[in-house]
Structure 1
Amino acid sequence: MGDFNNVVCGEEKMGGNGVRRRRVEEYTSCMNCCNLIDLGFTGPKFAWTNKRDLPSLIQGRLYRVWANLEWKSCFPEAHVKHLARINSNHCPLLLALDNPPIRTGERPFQFQSIWLSHESFPPIVRDAWEGNQQNVRRAINTFTLKAINWNKEEFGNIL
């Protein structure tokens, strides 16, 4: 089971035992005493899961990247991204020290094989084909839009 010693509020954990307020206070007090700031994150909300079905499912943020103000002033564009879980119950974290280059033009659609292993993906395919069986082009366009939006919600748009 995950160690939730660094969860700082109830929204960072779902399922299992509640967040212990005293532990949260001790943890945040230590980080404040050390003058550290949490760099935050983008991507999936929970970086760990026990991979169980409801009602035994537990998920949590679990990981943080801390920095002091001196480090942050050296890397003002630094940001953290929770990447997709692949064959694990943990999300890898990516610490990028600068902003990605600005893309010109629209990014081409790219199917990701990891989608096939996600439980909420089959309805995306089914919904795209419903009512579009006679128009393949419309079905593909509908699927593409639905898959892009779904990917952004589920995986934080890592494409």
Structure 2
Amino acid sequence: MTYLKTFVYAKCKEYLRKPLWDRFLYLADTRDSIPWCTVGDFNVITDTDEKMGGNPYNMRKSMDFIATIEACGLTDLGFNRPRFTWSNQRGINFRIWKRLDRAMANDQWLQNMPQTTITHLSSVGSDHCPLLMEMNTRVDTHIKYFRFLNCWTDQPSFEEIRIRVGTSS
């Protein structure tokens, strides 16, 4: 199966991320039938719930990213705990937490690998948590039923078995 995975390290400054969003739009437009998943540090949040501590977040900073996600048909894959993936690692009174790292996929990816999961692992030696991505292709659950063929009923051994089964009940 052919699929596309992109790994991202986005710039910290909002205006420097614009070329990345343009590249995403290009990829979505030219490869719309290929399963696509993108994973990484996007350096932006999509909801005020993805930030804790510090000054209130201005969602205007996220509008280009949110519009790009929607235009590309990407869906956030969610995550298993912990909630935030980045911390400024300052003292407890000045600490800021954000979910800057994520994985997203298009509909084709979700159809082929619906069991894809993301786990935020503990950060060790970094201000970011590593992401563990586990992928499983869709298992075809089509049940193949036994088909009885009448051509075997003419055989003497079949008649003998049928008689034995019929007499034992």
State TM-score, norm by structure 2: 0.53
Shift of 1:5: 4.5
1:6 aligns with 2:19: no
How many residues are treated as equivalent by the alignment? Answer: 98
Alpha carbons 1:38, 1:65 under 8 Å: kept: yes
1:50 aligns with 2:110: no
Shift of 1:96: 0.5
Mapping 1:143-154, distance limit 5 Å = none
Q: Measure, in 2, the Cα distance between the counterparts of 1:66 and 1:13.
A: 19
Question: Which structure shows the higher strand fraction?
Answer: 2
1:80 aligns with 2:118: yes
Alpha carbons 1:15, 1:59 under 8 Å: kept: yes
SS in 2 for 1:64: strand
Shift of 1:24: 2.4
Rg comparison, structure with higher value? 2
Q: Give a deviation string over 1:106-154, Cα, whole Å, max 9, x none.
A: xxxxxxxxxxxxxxxxxxxxxxxxxxxxxxxxxxxxxxxxxxxxxxxxx
Aligned to 1:33: 71
Percent identical: 37
Q: Measure, in 2, the Cα distance between the counterparts of 1:96 and 1:76.
A: 11
RMSD (Å), alpha carbons: 2.1
Mapping 1:6-155, distance limit 5 Å = 6-98=44-136
**1:96 counterpart letter in structure 2:** E
Shift of 1:90: 1.2
Q: Measure, in 2, the Cα distance between the counterparts of 1:44 and 1:10.
A: 17
SS in 1 for 2:111: helix
Alpha carbons 1:83, 1:93 under 8 Å: kept: yes
Runs of at least 5 residues in structure 2 that lack an aligned partner in the other structure? 1-10, 13-41, 138-169
Q: Give a deviation string over 1:45-94, Cα, whole Å, max 9, x none.
A: 11111111132111111111111000111111001000011222211001
Runs of at least 5 residues in structure 1 that lack an aligned partner in the other structure? 100-159
